[in-house]
Structure 1
C-alpha cells in the first residue's frame, strides 16, 4: 500500500521544488526591478539649484541724431574733405565755436564708421570711429576751456552729453556684428567715451 504512494509523493515533492525555485527566482528578479524603479524615481526628480546669470546694463537710448556722414573714407576724394575740415577748424576762433565744429566732425566720423562696419569694412570703420571719438574729446576740451572763461556753455554741454550717449549706443550695437578682436576694440572705445563723459561733467 505504501509503495503506491511513493510515486505520488515523489511527484508532489518535485512539483514543490519547482514551485520553490520559481518563487525564489521571481523574488530575486524583483529586487533589481525595484532598485531600478527607485533609481528612475530619483533621477526624474533632481534637486533644482537656482542659477543667476549676470545681466548687462542696458545702454540708455539717446534722442540725438547723427548728421549724414557724406563722403566716406574709402572714396577717392575723401582726402579733399579732410583738407577742407582742417582749414575750416583753423579759421574758427573761440572755444565755443570750435567745440561746435569739432562735434560736427565727430558726428560725421562716427556715422561713417557705422556705415563702413555694416558694409563689412571693419578695419577702416574702426579707424574712422577712433578719429570720431578723438574729435569728440577735443570738443569737450574746448567746451571746458569756454567754461573757465565764463562763457555760457549749458546748451553745448547738454548737446555733448546727448552725443556721447548716441556714440555709446552706436558702438554697443556694432559689437554684435564684428569678431571678438574688433568687439574688444569697440568696448575700449566705449570706455574712452565714458571717461570723456566724466571729464565733461566734472570740469
Structure 2
C-alpha cells in the first residue's frame, strides 16, 4: 500500500514539475503561433485563405510512453487556471496541438492512435467554444477570441480535409464525423460575430 502511494506521489510530482516548467515558458497564454509553426504542418494545404497558424506539437507525441504524463500535465494546467479567458485560450491551444499531433501520427502510419487524438482535439475545440460562451455571459469581451476561434475551426476542417486524402477507407467516416465539431464551432462563432456586427472570417467551403 505504501509503495503504491509512493508511486502515485512520484508520478504526480513529475507531472507537476512538467506543468511548472511549461507555465514558466508560457507566462502569458497569448501565443504567437506564426513563430512556432511546425514544419510538419507546412504541407497540410497550399490554400492560404484561412488566416490561422497552428502551433508546434512538441517533442512528446501520443505514441510516446511519456504521453500520459503530458496529458496529465494538461489536465492539471487547466485545473489550476482560474482566469476564464486563459482557460479558453488553453483549451484552444490543446485542440490545435492535438490536431497537429494527429496529422503527424497519420503520416507515421498509425491511424488508430491518430484518430483517437483527433477526436480529443475536436472536443477541446468544442470546449473552447463553450468556455467562450460562458465568458461572454459573464461580461467578458470575447470578440477577438471568437474571431480567432472561427479561424481555428476553419483550419481544423481544412486539416481534416487533407487527412481524408491519405486516410484508410475505414477511417474516413470517422474523420468526416470529427469534422462536424469544427463545422459546428465555425457556424456558432460566425453567428455570434454577425450578431455583434463584426464580419466573420470567410468560409472557403460550401457549407
| Fold agreement, TM-score > 0.5 | yes
- By percentage of residues, which structure has more helix? 1
Matched, 1:113 2:105: no
Match of 1:187 in 2: 176
TM-score normalised per structure 1 = 0.68
State the 1:196 CA deviation. Answer: 2.2
Partners of 2:74 and 2:181 lie apart in 1 by: 24
Partners of 2:179 and 2:126 lie apart in 1 by: 13
TM-score normalised per structure 2 = 0.66
Partners of 1:154 and 1:193 lie apart in 2 by: 18
State the 1:60 CA deviation. Answer: 8.1
In structure 2, stretches of 5+ residues that fail to align are: 1-46, 193-207
Q: Deviations over 1:148-186 (max 9, x none)?
A: 112111111111111111101100011010122211111
Question: Aligned pair in 2 of structure 1 residues 139, 104: CA closer, same or farther (>3 Å)?
Answer: same
Pairs within 5 Å for 1:9-28: none
Matched, 1:94 2:83: yes
The SS at the match of 2:130 is helix
Contact 1:61–1:169 (CA<8 Å) still a contact in 2? Answer: no
Pairs within 5 Å for 1:90-169: 90-169=79-158
Q: Which has the larger radius of gyration?
A: 1
Contact 2:126–2:181 (CA<8 Å) still a contact in 1? Answer: no
Partners of 2:166 and 2:154 lie apart in 1 by: 20
In structure 1, stretches of 5+ residues that fail to align are: 1-58
User: How many residues are matched?
Assistant: 145
The SS at the match of 1:63 is coil
The one of 163, 167, 174 equivalent to 1:174 is 163
Matched, 1:62 2:50: yes
Contact 1:60–1:169 (CA<8 Å) still a contact in 2? Answer: no
Contact 1:99–1:143 (CA<8 Å) still a contact in 2? Answer: yes
State the 1:95 CA deviation. Answer: 2.3
State the 1:64 CA deviation. Answer: 1.0
